[in-house]
Structure 1
């Protein structure tokens, strides 16, 4: 990935945010500070975090890195959504995750990235050079502990995904996906869906036709409604939760 200047970018909700230079204001005004490594440190350590990070803007569809690229940096999403994917030997795409504000990209990678990361929407990210972040963790135990907690969360999500792909029916998979999206938007009944139906299919291990049929059935049965383009409203959360199979 080439160096990018600090720019203004449009968030998924259409609000344009100016990403300004000057580390004195970046972390204090960050809307996801409380759920990332910056939320567990005092102002002195926060300055050290700011000194090794750089805020970048990426456009919709832009690639952060490609599967197999050498690991050079770790990213923390502050605005927007990032899609993770792998290519199977036969050329098919498997989406392995969707990351939201507060999530890290490339955190568990060692020598090479194990997946491709692409911006699904215009996004802002904090970029940490991997060697400098490793050094900061050695110097400040609280940051290392927080990053380990985030990696443990990734493991838990991976186990849930194994269950999602291996044991659930198509309806249970789609219901689980919708409920997980709602959770990412603080339990909202109405929320944006940046993913296409093809994205959802590649994530859930279903065909595009199956995803379309299942969403249409949910709408027909009064479980959801499509409010407008890329917006879904949950009409019967209880029935959807029952359908998740958990």
Structure 2
């Protein structure tokens, strides 16, 4: 999201973490802005009974964990590298300085946070109220919109069935069965195991 040269100009450092390594944990004090250069990060919570609830997946060019920087609070979730990942890490104070000196970037960060907030609100409603078919289609439609893909154009979902399950609160078996049902009724297409809508 933020140009790497600009991040470097404000003192960002490059860090590498291996697959399966945690970057930060829930309730840890938020102190840095993180942007992914290569790789993939999963943000999640552990429920009281030890189950994982996935908040989101973040890939190259994406950032994550910003809200607690603005509220001077702790991280509300944990993060783990889904694959070997390279990040740009910028201290909170330098991140705020960058935003103050670059109002256009500040606006883009605000827009991105508002979009994520709307998504969370939508997902809470969908997870609590709707059948698996609706949950899966709502997630895919959100991802398609985020990518800026026109409704008339086919969109290939890069998530695995497990990732879809994690993001919709469903079991992976339910996702597999529901995707097949959605393919039969024409709501989705499956080409080479990849979902298209």
TM-score surpassing 0.5? yes
Q: Which has the higher contact order (CA 8 A, sep 6+)?
A: 2
In the other structure, the counterpart of 1:159 is: 121
Q: Is the 8 A contact 2:21 2:81 kept in 1?
A: yes
Deviations 1:136-192 (A, max 9, x none): 334444443332232222222222222322232210111222333445555374636
User: Does 2:54 match 1:95?
Assistant: yes
User: Does 2:190 match 1:225?
Assistant: yes
In the other structure, the counterpart of 2:87 is: 125
**Counterparts of 2:37 and 2:148, CA distance in 1:** 16
Q: Which structure would you say has the larger Rg?
A: 1
* Total equivalences in the alignment: 190
User: Does 2:160 match 1:195?
Assistant: yes
SS at match of 1:191: coil
SS at match of 2:33: strand
**Counterparts of 1:204 and 1:129, CA distance in 2:** 33
SS at match of 2:139: helix
Deviations 1:58-95 (A, max 9, x none): 33333221111221211122333321111122222211
User: Does 2:170 match 1:206?
Assistant: yes
SS at match of 1:83: strand
Distance 1:184 1:111, change over 3 A: same
**Counterparts of 2:61 and 2:91, CA distance in 1:** 18
* Cα distance, 1:49 vs structure 2: 5.2
Deviations 1:17-54 (A, max 9, x none): xxxxxxxxxxxxxxxxxxx2339xxxxxx657533212
User: Does 2:130 match 1:168?
Assistant: yes
Q: Is the 8 A contact 2:20 2:83 kept in 1?
A: yes
**Counterparts of 2:37 and 2:179, CA distance in 1:** 30
**Counterparts of 2:13 and 2:158, CA distance in 1:** 28
**Counterparts of 1:148 and 1:181, CA distance in 2:** 19
Q: Is the 8 A contact 1:86 1:96 kept in 2?
A: yes
**Counterparts of 1:171 and 1:130, CA distance in 2:** 41
Normalising by structure 1, we get a TM-score of 0.65
Among 206, 211, 215, the alignment partner of 2:179 is 215
* Cα distance, 1:196 vs structure 2: 4.5
**Counterparts of 1:53 and 1:192, CA distance in 2:** 32
